[in-house]
Structure 1
Amino acid sequence: MDLKSLKNIPASFALAKRALLYCLIISTLISIGSLVWAFVTTNNIKNTAFVLTKDGQAAMMQGISLNEVDEFRKPEIINHIKMFHESFWEIDQFNYKRRIDRALYLSGRSGKQLFKTLQANGHLAKLVTENLTQKIDIDSIKVNDKVTPYKAKFYGKLRVSRTDQKVESVNEFRANFVLHNVARTNENPHGLLIENYLLKSKPISIPK
């Protein structure tokens, strides 16, 4: 072995060290990049679901964070109000128990008090004995979703008719109430509860 070859050995070791250092840095960057990609992908998957459309096709549905829930709350509030009023007021002698029971899951103490009032004044008894059918027309729903509990007003018309006749009475219908956020259940899918329900209408008139 000549002297020139011996002089090249330290340089070769230095080059090997640099090569190993570069490989270590590149491997570390690749590992960190993979972890970041996996974290982002996992979060996106957690916020994504697939729903089956009426045509039998799978459609992707993007979720929202808990901080964004209030921004999308208003459509749920309005739908909850519709569900309550249609279940509670669109009744006849055959379905009123089942439909009012469903409505009571969407309201709190004031909903139960309203039910007791209709029982006490004989309205539900007339529904059965006089073959009455009720239908509610929604004119407008106003909601203030900037404060909690949410404040709301309902405007519409309550139509009462006899099953065996074409005669009906039309009652102006107006109600004020608030809605509280509660846990979502199968019976209360919007996670809202109607309280302080104040019916600001004349007594319900019955067709003669």
Structure 2
Amino acid sequence: MFRKMKNIDTAFRYVRLFTLVIVTGNLLLCGYIVYRTNVTLTANKGKVYVMVNGKLVEAVAMERNIPVELRDHIRTFHTLFFTLSPDEKAIQAQITKALYLADGSARREYQNLKEAGYYSNLISGNISQTIDIDSIELDMGVTPYKFRCIGRQYITRPTSVLTRSIVTQGYVRTGMIQSDNNSHGFLIERWEIVSNNDIKTESR
């Protein structure tokens, strides 16, 4: 009877030792996993990965340069809005892209031009139009940021090229959701054409 009790006591000690080893091993393994996870997260902090043509490319997240992005947003909007060819579908495609970058003020300007027959005249007269942006002035003192855009329009007719000066102004609101249609996440507000005057006409 005494030997039997001794065997049970020995077996219990072995089980207790085995359990202690297993628990200790699990704790050490969990601690190592947490440590390696923290090391990996710290090493990859600020890095993002993007797919480019089916390949995974590492990109480093940097602080945004708001003035540069604002100027690019404004330039893109004006280029889309004022670069037109004598094709109804092409005009509609350009204007649609431009209107994603601005509020209802740009749509009102488009509707006014459309009702005045501006786009119909481009199509019927086989006229194309491009714009060069000379400068974009920004007031970064307060949001939304006020801007003034100065450029030149080139209206190409079958027999001549008309050069016009154009000045527009408005405000840009930040903090919008970035998307394929609005990559910067900005929105032009209260946009208006201040002046649009002829400079010269050259024969082709």
| Fold equivalence (TM over 0.5) | yes
Tell me how far apart the structure 1 counterparts of residues 126 and 118 of structure 2 sit (CA, whole Å). 12
Residue of structure 1 aligned with 2:124, choices 115, 120, 129? 129
**Counterpart of 1:183 in structure 2: which amino acid?**
I
Q: Is the Cα–Cα contact under 8 Å of residues 160 and 206 in structure 1 kept in the other structure?
A: no
Q: CA RMSD in A?
A: 3.1
Partner of 1:49: 48
Structure 1 position 44, deviation (Å): 4.5
Tell me how far apart the structure 2 counterparts of residues 43 and 126 of structure 1 sit (CA, whole Å). 61
Task: List per-residue Cα deviations over 1:98-156 (Å, max 9, x = no partner).
Answer: 10011001111111011011112221111111111001011111223342111111111
Structure 1 position 83, deviation (Å): 1.1
Tell me how far apart the structure 2 counterparts of residues 138 and 183 of structure 1 sit (CA, whole Å). 26
Structure 1 position 179, deviation (Å): 0.7
For the residue of structure 2 that corresponds to 1:201, the secondary structure is strand
State the TM-score, normalizing by the size of structure 1. 0.70
Tell me how far apart the structure 2 counterparts of residues 133 and 153 of structure 1 sit (CA, whole Å). 25
Partner of 2:100: 105
Tell me how far apart the structure 2 counterparts of residues 142 and 37 of structure 1 sit (CA, whole Å). 50
Structure 1 position 75, deviation (Å): 1.8
Q: Is the Cα–Cα contact under 8 Å of residues 138 and 157 in structure 1 kept in the other structure?
A: yes
CA change 1:36–1:154 in 2 (3 A) is: farther
Does residue 193 (structure 1) correspond to residue 187 (structure 2)? The answer is yes
**Counterpart of 2:95 in structure 1: which amino acid?**
I
Tell me how far apart the structure 1 counterparts of residues 197 and 117 of structure 2 sit (CA, whole Å). 12
Matched pairs, number? 173
The correspondence of residues 6-155 of structure 1 with structure 2, limited to 5 A, is 38-39=37-38, 41-50=40-49, 60-64=58-62, 68-69=63-64, 72-94=65-87, 95-155=90-150
**Counterpart of 2:190 in structure 1: which amino acid?**
N
Task: List per-residue Cα deviations over 1:68-103 (Å, max 9, x = no partner).
Answer: 44xx22221111111111111000121111100110
For the residue of structure 1 that corresponds to 2:195, the secondary structure is coil
**Counterpart of 1:168 in structure 2: which amino acid?**
V
Identity of aligned residues (%): 25
The correspondence of residues 155-166 of structure 1 with structure 2, limited to 5 A, is 155-162=150-157, 164-165=158-159
Q: Is the Cα–Cα contact under 8 Å of residues 163 and 200 in structure 2 kept in the other structure?
A: no
Tell me how far apart the structure 1 counterparts of residues 144 and 56 of structure 2 sit (CA, whole Å). 36
CA change 1:93–1:108 in 2 (3 A) is: same
Tell me how far apart the structure 2 counterparts of residues 196 and 132 of structure 1 sit (CA, whole Å). 29
Q: Is the Cα–Cα contact under 8 Å of residues 87 and 99 in structure 1 kept in the other structure?
A: yes
CA change 1:59–1:169 in 2 (3 A) is: same
Structure 1 position 46, deviation (Å): 4.8
Q: Is the Cα–Cα contact under 8 Å of residues 147 and 169 in structure 2 kept in the other structure?
A: yes
Q: Is the Cα–Cα contact under 8 Å of residues 134 and 159 in structure 1 kept in the other structure?
A: yes
Unaligned runs of 5+ in 2: 1-27
